[in-house]
């Protein structure tokens, strides 16, 4: 069971919960568990069963697909007010996870056990629409990711990544490689080429964009 303050915060982040009946909401809150998770912790790993549906109050979690050689492909992030579609899929399909989730920044969350998630999904049309809406958005994002990985060169994807963020970008080459599903050495080589052409300036864990139009042209090529 969660306390009154946590319940208020939860309804603020997930107002869709307030649209269910009072009796159903009371049942959900009585079964819910409050957790604090430090940065770097693993929320779930591949082939693990889903133990509950997490509702994020603060912090950020990242879902990635890992390869046997250690490389990771960033699929999506989960922030407060959002639902993890992989968790929804596992609970509805009674299957195991097919990706890994780690906490990027210290997180607070409320976890509904599987039975409570299914009760909410069955009882609340608004919650079902919320889950399906997240599915639609994530699938669209993942299709764009698949298209980029399959049809775009790394330099194009890297150029697009840079122009989408305010400069300077504070990021390590390894984190950037993880985001793009590549190797750090290859990303560093491409960045050096960008720097040689005067498009970016490289610093310690920092990339400053000097010629955004050039990067935009490359990303659209």
Per-residue pLDDT tens over the stretch 112-128: 999 999 999 999 999 99
Confidence at residue 36, expressed as pLDDT on a 0 to 100 scale: 96
Stated pTM of the model: 0.71
Residue 166 has pLDDT above 80, yes or no: yes
> What angle is formed at CA 36 by the lines to CA 34 and CA 41, rounded to 5 degrees?
130
pLDDT at site 220: 84
- pLDDT at position 66, please? 82
Looking at residue 150, what is its pLDDT? Answer: 65
- Per-residue pLDDT band for 138 (boundaries 50, 70, 90) equals confident
Mention every residue, 6+ apart, whose C-beta is less than 8 A from residue 117.
52, 53, 91
């Amino acid at each position: 069971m969660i306390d009154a303050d946590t319940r208020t915060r939860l309804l603020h982040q997930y107002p869709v919960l307030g649209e269910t009946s009072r009796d159903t909401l009371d049942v959900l809150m009585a079964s819910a568990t409050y957790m604090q998770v430090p940065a770097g912790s693993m929320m779930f790993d591949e082939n693990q069963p889903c133990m509950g549906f997490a509702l994020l109050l603060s912090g950020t979690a990242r879902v990635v697909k890992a390869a046997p050689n250690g490389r990771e492909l960033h699929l999506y992030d989960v922030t407060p007010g959002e639902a993890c579609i992989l968790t929804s899929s596992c609970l509805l399909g009674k299957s195991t996870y097919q990706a890994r989730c780690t906490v990027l920044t210290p997180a607070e969350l409320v976890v509904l056990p599987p039975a409570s998630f299914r009760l909410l999904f069955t009882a609340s049309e608004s919650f079902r629409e919320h889950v399906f809406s997240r599915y639609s958005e994530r699938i669209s994002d993942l299709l764009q990711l698949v298209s980029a990985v399959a049809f775009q060169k790394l330099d194009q994807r890297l150029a697009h990544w840079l122009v989408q963020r305010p400069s300077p970008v504070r990021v390590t080459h390894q984190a950037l490689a993880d985001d793009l599903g590549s190797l750090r050495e290859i990303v560093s080589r491409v960045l050096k080429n960008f720097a040689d052409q005067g498009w970016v300036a490289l610093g310690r864990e920092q990339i400053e964009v000097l010629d955004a139009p050039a990067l935009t042209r490359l990303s659209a090529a």
